Amino acid sequence: MADVGEVLMSVLSTIRVPKSGDRVHKDECALSFASPESEGGLFVCMNTFLGFGSQYVNRHYARTGQRAYLHITRTRKPKSEDDSNSAAGHPPKKKPTRLAIGIEGGFDVDQDQYEEDIKVVILPDRQEVTADDLTTMTEVVKERVSRSMAGIMAADSVSHALQVQQWDGEVRQESKHAADLKQLDNGVKIPPSGWRCEVCDLQENIWMNLTDGKVLCGRRYFDGSGGNNHALLHFKETGYPLAVKLGTITPDGADVYSYDEDDMVLDTKLAEHLSHFGIDMMTMEKTERTMTELEIAVNQRVGEWEVIQESGTTLRPLSGPGLTGMKNLGNSCYLNSVMQVLFTVPDFEEKYVSNIDKIIDEAPSDPSQDFKTQVAKLGYGLLSGEYSKPAPDPGDENGASEARGDQIGIAPRMFKALVGRGHPEFSTNRQQDAQEFLLHFINMVERNCRSGPNPSEAFRFLVEEKIVCEQSQKAKYTQRVDYIVQLPVPMDQATNTEELQEAERRREMGDTSSTVRAQIPFTSCMAALTEPEVLTDFWSSAVQAKTTATKTMRFASFPDYLVIQIKKFTFGLDWVPKKLGRLCHLQSDFFRTVSPVCESKKTPV
């Protein structure tokens, strides 16, 4: 085997230092869901900065001739070591200043729990070069390779850059009240700790109004926690706009909310405003999570491997092919649910998973930007079982490191970035509608399947509309392609009318202890779908005038797999949207009939 210094010299011209604008993939393989935490680690090409798992790095070398890779491996530290770090007087982590994850100024998601090892690996013989080895080499080799290694490790990975774009889009603006906020000279002085709401004695989520020094609890959250809205009610009574969350005050700042601006804001005179009520900002320590931390914690918690226990039920963790979980990236539940369903359809499995080797062989030089490759990668990740294995034995010493969950699962960062790129909604961190994403994804499949089998045809059907002019009795037929049936819910067809009337009577008397849902037969929904619609202002070409017409619809063709969207929202008499999903329950032998088929992963409904 050649001397490693000579080998490095021979590939030196291919080793680059990342520049601004270079996309560095150091968290995820372009062709699989391997990462630095995976067995074998991640190999980052030191020329293209694409990452590859141990399974695919040789394939990339064979296709491109690139030989130098930065090998990154991360292993979880033993728990005792983490505990000793905190006990050894290490400084506390800084308060997040950006709504971002895992980057400078952002929210640290347990990076400190890992040990990282990096070295240069030269293919095909996988000769290894450590930082210590570089000290013995020529200045030219040492300088170029060291700068490349440092540049790759210092660069924001593509996945982190995406999170910055999605989470860091909302920058807090200076409040319009900050410069000349009115503060009352009422003699109020606030102690440095021990705060409680002046109305209900709550001791958490406590805010101080910066005008009069009233100490009150915050808003009640959707799950009933948080507070009792007393700070908000105080604003409505007084109009005093700014409040500070007392437990978040540090020398660096605090959470300040503006009620009339309805947003978190910056108070450039916060130290002065706090001092008015006897609070020395420079001596304060944070005792509660900031609103940024709370928001990210909620989204991170949704993405962690927490099992939701149904009432009275202990859920049994599953693993194996077709049973792979997808990590929630903060708002990706809509994407995860759609893709899990699509890859139960044989057409998608045959198009992408069965042909994954061919797809990867034909992938362009940057597979992270190729639609077909990323769909195949996701499908294989879901169906192969490679990322869904039984949890370690709790008694196994190594099992303790898997405390986060029962399976590795996959995080579809690269896929989400690709399918959402350029879209005004799916490229953001906002919650989205699964039905809209399904149609968006089907549209992308259609565009990328101009030749060869198109798996989205499994959902395609023709709808025929018939419009009959009442005056001439002449009919006009039109057809359109559709992929989803939007099913109305006729609430007046409920089969438990008496029970609903009794529940309404109890509600009027103030009894809200139980919820009664309308029982709607599925056949009534189908009947409502095909019920004739009267058009009162219809232009008839037959009589050359406006007249009345009736419109009916029917299926001109039927798909292999029927996707149904229940139209859950309607408008009440006050034009306020109401969600029917909370008010009704569909009764259907149809759903019971297809249930066994759904379980065998052949017919998603």
Residues 308 and 435 in one domain: yes
Task: Tell me the average pLDDT across 180-203.
Answer: 93
Task: Give the pLDDT score at 306.
Answer: 43
Task: Give the pLDDT score at 471.
Answer: 93
Residues 290 and 261 in one domain: yes
In a domain, 454, yes or no: no
- β-strand 584-587 against 518-521: which pairing, if any? parallel
Residue in 540, 604, 563 with CA at minimum distance from that of residue 437: 563
Q: Give the list of residues 6+ apart from residue 349 with CB closer than 8 angstroms, or none.
A: 343, 379, 383
**CATH no. for residue 16?**
3.30.40.10
Task: Give the pLDDT score at 504.
Answer: 84
Q: In this predicted model, which residue has the larger pLDDT, 165 or 352? A: 352
Residues 329 and 425 in one domain: yes
What are the tokens at 56? 């695919």
Q: What is the pTM of this model?
A: 0.69
pLDDT confidence band for 195 (50 / 70 / 90): very high
Residues 469 and 337 in one domain: no
Task: Give the pLDDT score at 421.
Answer: 85
Q: Give the list of residues 6+ apart from residue 91 with CB closer than 8 angstroms, or none.
A: none
Residues 81 and 134 in one domain: yes
pLDDT in tens, 418-456: 998 887 777 666 677 889 999 999 999 999 998 889 999
Q: How many CB atoms lie within 10 A of CB 575?
A: 6
Task: Give the pLDDT score at 86.
Answer: 44
Cβ burial of 301 (10 Å; 0-12, 13-18, 19+) is exposed
- SS3 labels along 214-278: CEEECCCCCCCCCCCCHHHHHHHHHCCCEEEEHHHCECCECCEEECCCCEEEECCCHHHHHHCCC
Write out the H or E segment, with its range, that includes residue 591. Answer: helix 589-599
Q: Which of 39-53, 70-84, 559-573 has the highest mean pLDDT?
A: 39-53
Among 50-54, 257-261, 589-593, the minimum mean pLDDT is found in: 589-593
Distance between CA atoms of 98 and 101, rounded to whole angstroms?
Answer: 8
Residues 73 and 126 in one domain: yes
In a domain, 13, yes or no: yes
Angle value at C-alpha 346, between 342 and 347, nearest 5 degrees: 80
pLDDT in tens, 537-553: 899 999 999 999 999 99
Q: Whose structure tokens read 């190729």?
A: 370
Task: Give the pLDDT score at 102.
Answer: 47
**pLDDT above 70 for 205:** yes
Residues 368 and 421 in one domain: yes
In a domain, 311, yes or no: yes
How much of the chain exceeds pLDDT 90, in percent? 53
Among 93-97, 182-186, 247-251, 600-604, the minimum mean pLDDT is found in: 600-604
Distance between CA atoms of 199 and 216, rounded to whole angstroms?
Answer: 7
Task: Tell me the average pLDDT across 79-98.
Answer: 49
Residues 372 and 432 in one domain: yes
Torsions phi, psi for 467 (to 5 deg): -115, 120
Residue 474 contacts residue 468 (beta carbons within 8 Å):
yes
pLDDT in tens, 486-535: 888 888 888 988 888 888 888 888 776 677 888 888 888 888 888 999 99
**pLDDT above 80 for 34:** yes
Residues 404 and 473 in one domain: no
In a domain, 535, yes or no: yes
pLDDT in tens, 142-152: 999 999 999 99
Residue in 532, 566, 576 with CA at minimum distance from that of residue 550: 532
List b or e across 416-448, with b for residues whose CB sees 16 or more CB atoms inside 10 angstroms: bbbbbeeeeebbebeebeebebbbbbbeebeee
| Residue that finishes a domain, picked among 449, 469, 486 | 449
Distance between CA atoms of 528 and 566, rounded to whole angstroms?
Answer: 12
Torsions phi, psi for 571 (to 5 deg): -110, 135
pLDDT confidence band for 162 (50 / 70 / 90): low
95, 247, 429, 462 from 279: Cα distances, Å: 19, 12, 36, 69
Q: Which of 1-5, 366-370, 562-566, 577-581 has the highest mean pLDDT?
A: 366-370
Distance between CA atoms of 417 and 434, rounded to whole angstroms?
Answer: 17
Q: In this predicted model, which residue has the larger pLDDT, 420 or 576? A: 420
Task: Tell me the average pLDDT across 38-65.
Answer: 96
What are the tokens at 174? 């200076």
Residues 465 and 594 in one domain: yes
In a domain, 77, yes or no: yes
How many domains does one find in the chain? 4
**pLDDT above 50 for 403:** no
Q: Which of 90-94, 109-113, 368-372, 415-419 has the highest mean pLDDT?
A: 368-372
**pLDDT above 50 for 268:** yes
In a domain, 605, yes or no: no
Distance between CA atoms of 460 and 481, rounded to whole angstroms?
Answer: 7
Give the DSSP letter of residue 601. Answer: T
Distance between CA atoms of 19 and 26, rounded to whole angstroms?
Answer: 15
Residues 393 and 533 in one domain: no
Distance between CA atoms of 482 and 566, rounded to whole angstroms?
Answer: 16
In a domain, 491, yes or no: yes
Task: Tell me the average pLDDT across 265-281.
Answer: 94
**pLDDT above 60 for 298:** no
pLDDT in tens, 70-82: 999 998 877 554 4
In DSSP terms, which residues pair with 206 in a beta bridge?
Answer: 217
Range of the domain at 39: 4-167
**CATH no. for residue 428?**
3.90.70.10
309, 317, 399 from 314: Cα distances, Å: 6, 10, 21
> Can you state the angle between helices 522-530 and 589-599, rounded to 10 degrees?
100
In a domain, 604, yes or no: no
Distance between CA atoms of 53 and 601, rounded to whole angstroms?
Answer: 30
Among 215-224, 549-558, 590-599, the minimum mean pLDDT is found in: 590-599
Residues 155 and 36 in one domain: yes
pLDDT in tens, 465-476: 999 999 999 999
